[in-house]
Structure 1
Amino acid sequence: MQNVLNSTTPSHLTSPRPETLGTEEVLTFPAFFKSTVSLWVKFLLSVGLCFFAVQLVTWLPDIDHWLVGILHHRSILTHSILLPAIVWIALPKSMPVIASVLFAAVGIHLSADVLSPSQGYGAIWLPEPFKLNLGELSKVWLSVNAVMAFVFALNSCPEQHRYPLTGGALGGCIFYGFANENSGLAAVLSVAFLTFGYLIARRLSKFPESPIQISRRLMSQRVRTQQLAKLEKQRLEAERGHFCFIKRVLRLPYQAFCALWFVIIWSLRKPRTAGSIAALVVIAFISFYLVGSSSSNSFAGAVSNGAAKTLSDGVWVLHSSGGWILKQGGEYVAGTLRATKP
């Protein structure tokens, strides 16, 4: 049992070692997601193993049936923490989980027995030669031993297994109350005793970080990482805002030189293509100039003749209404609109 738990639970108490950026911890989202999922999967598997282990031995106090002639049912010897305490003392120190599981199972069993009437087989009996029962004190005996069983279960358990055992015992209390006793009240009472024992155990021994605390720490670490990334982005944007224009101005000559160099190299590699393109450009420019000079009314002619006249001398231009209008100083002259150009 201990080997199985050791293979699944110890690492759930440690968070991944994050990378560092300066003095701040950095935790990326993939690392955060992987760590959180791994933490809870291992923890829940450990809780499940503890639950099944506890359920397998909840019958332990009822071994008095085997010696009912001597012990009587609900014997004070078996319905107490005596049996798991003997196992705890007898076991090697390397196997404390077995005793912890026995303590938890006895605690669940005794918690459910508290609701039985304190008479007949429902009472706690002394062994031979007394064969007397405790009467109403049976409930006090069962309650005290149930709480102490949970306390010893958690204190005898290795530190890294205490939360999985608590979760397994909690599930065992609910399952035993409903499945074995068919009583929701038994389940509630068992959970109450477990809670009380857990609070006492925390006073007596040290507990590690719980999975919830580790998850919250990882979340806080992830939030700090996002804040660091946001601050770094703002810093870079501020730097780009201050020097962006200067960098662009300084890079213009270099970019122009690179473009010219590219054109030269490309022309040397493909002289025929480059010569053909240059010839087409020259022919297009000469044709544009000749056509414009022969027809001053055309756009090309206006360009070739320097817009015919300066704006200060006045120029007849084509109006959007379809007629011709005189334009001086950049403004239309009122009353000059006509159908044909003068």
Structure 2
Amino acid sequence: MEWLNGWYIGLYFTLIFFIFLSIGLKNRKILGIFICILILFSGFRYGAGIDFFIYEHLVLEGMDYELQRIEPLSRLLMVVSKYFDVSFLFFLSTSFLYMYSIVIGLKRFDSYSAFTIYMFTLFTLSFLSSFGFVRQFVATGILFVAFSYLFRGKSKRFILVSLLATLFHYSSIVYVLFYFIRYFIQRNFKFWVYVLLIIAGLLSTELISFLIIKIGFYAHYFLFYSDGEVAGVKIYYSLLLVSLSILFVETFFVNKKKINTLLSYSKNMVFISLFMYSALLPFGEKFVRISYYLIPFYYVWAYQIYKGISSKEVKIIYLLFIVLICSFYYFSTLYFAQFSSRGDFLNNFRLNF
């Protein structure tokens, strides 16, 4: 398979090795070694990431007027890398910030395990996607930590950490509004409510476009891409299928006494993400990316469901489903990357040495 870079195969089996090692030794600290491998793998990459060469240009040759358009903390990392005249410093620092934040968030949500690290590495719009949308994924990790404060009722810290995320990517400012629905997203709802939310997302495009234009924030950006090619449809329907499958398992195989606030919180975040994805889908991927900030809650929700299943047989089937769907996402992402209109943005991976 010419499209499949050997580095990715090596990373996949390295993940499997550390998963079994962690489970076999019953020691989650071992996963920290693999996280370090992920940071180095991402940080020292060259040529991988849809915007890799744009960032490399900004770091090594970017003019002041180009850098001024970048968010303050993202710009700071670029300026430091530019000072030392090495692009890998920017990619290494952003990789560290993103992955360290995800790990901190998982720990604060009591979901740090071999299960969630496996999902983080292989799931769609996660590790591999972070190669391209660098600034946004740093903001995603930080926002994930911010939501852990909101979950624990520490609203001021949530707002402060959320604002920190915006200094890496301005689009994350949208999620500060979650302060006003903080009690709502901790409630558990019936199956049909989530189905209605999905339908509402598909019907909300016009309303969202009206509000964004009226508010004015990113309106020019929104209008520019509103007539563009619709992308990300397959990803949306795959996420929808995965979400409904997990919801089905929760509804019929999880003891109702084990459906705690954390499970409900993460589930609601997942379906809010789907709502946003479907509502913004007609306007193209560049706007759909706003929904990517909530992807880490898939790891939390799926893990909480796994812990809540009583039947050993169902738990094995569920685990097999997660293993297969994540592996499918990982290799299909690499496969479809070769057909990008901007060229293969993943399989050209090599180390920046």
Asked if these proteins are the same fold (TM beyond 0.5), I'd say no
Q: Bigger radius of gyration, 1 or 2?
A: 1
Q: Which has the higher contact order (CA 8 A, sep 6+)?
A: 2
TM (norm. structure 1) is 0.30
Q: What TM-score, normalized to structure 2?
A: 0.29
